[in-house]
């Protein structure tokens, strides 16, 4: 049975402008975070290469969004990653973390400047301290889209991220991006992990009292 009314244009009656109080399992992730213990396992011609990285991530609340009766609360994010003692950007990523209370669904969108975008989703309870989201190539509800060069040579078949919120207020993620690389028979598991500590509190809409 659908949680939505038949009227697809009907706006939700219970929309609350105070996003930070309505983020469910995403609430502990709001703010600006840093982590210096990141580990990246990436494909290279000679085989997998493991590298450390430093990360700064900003997750800021946005006002609630409705698609007719569907109501979403979200954090807009940007992450910037460098290698230790390096200036050049190692990785950059933007997108949204979204929470739909009615279906207890978490949605994660990511876009990277390699010509790739992902929408991953999964279910979680509002007070969950750990949840997993998945995207699969070819799926329209939670899928992956890459530019033609990447799709031919470094095709991404699935993306999985598990988030864990720790008792000390930090949170960590474990990502597994499964790739089919041209010339290789076996899929490659591109892994990224890090644990982040809040350095700045989130900034809500300044017009909200």
Model confidence over 169-190: pLDDT tens digits?
999 999 999 999 999 999 999 9
In a domain, 9, yes or no: no
How many structural domains compose the chain? 1
In a domain, 3, yes or no: no
Task: Give this prediction's pTM.
Answer: 0.95
Backbone angles phi, psi at 151, to 5 degrees: -65, -30
39 to 91, 102, 163, 175: CA distances (angstroms): 12, 35, 15, 10
In a domain, 149, yes or no: yes
- Express each pLDDT in 53-105 by its tens digit: 999 999 999 999 999 999 999 999 999 999 998 999 999 999 999 999 999 99
In a domain, 106, yes or no: yes
Nearest to 12 by CA among 98, 97, 102: 102
In a domain, 133, yes or no: yes
In a domain, 89, yes or no: yes
CATH number of the CATH domain containing 147: 2.40.128.20
In a domain, 44, yes or no: yes
Domain extent for 145: 19-197
């Amino acid at each position: 049975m659908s949680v939505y009314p038949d009227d697809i244009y009907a706006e939700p009656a219970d929309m609350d402008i105070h996003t930070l109080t309505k983020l469910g399992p995403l609430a502990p992730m709001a703010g600006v975070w840093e982590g210096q213990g990141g580990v990246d396992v990436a494909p290279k011609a000679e085989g997998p290469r493991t590298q450390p990285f430093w990360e700064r991530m900003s997750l800021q609340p946005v006002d609630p969004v409705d698609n007719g009766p569907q109501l979403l609360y979200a954090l807009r994010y940007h992450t910037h990653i460098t290698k230790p003692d390096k200036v050049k950007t190692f990785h950059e990523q933007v997108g949204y973390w979204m929470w739909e209370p009615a279906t207890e669904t978490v949605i994660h969108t990511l876009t990277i400047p390699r010509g790739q975008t992902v929408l991953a989703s999964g279910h979680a309870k509002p007070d969950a301290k750990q949840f997993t989201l998945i995207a699969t190539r070819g799926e329209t509800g939670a899928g992956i889209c890459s530019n033609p060069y990447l799709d031919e040579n470094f095709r991404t078949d699935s993306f999985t991220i598990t988030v864990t919120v720790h008792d000390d207020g930090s949170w960590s993620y474990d990502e597994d991006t499964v790739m089919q690389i041209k010339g290789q028979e076996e899929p490659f598991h591109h892994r990224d992990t890090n644990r982040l500590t809040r350095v700045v509190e989130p900034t809500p809409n300044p017009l909200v009292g």
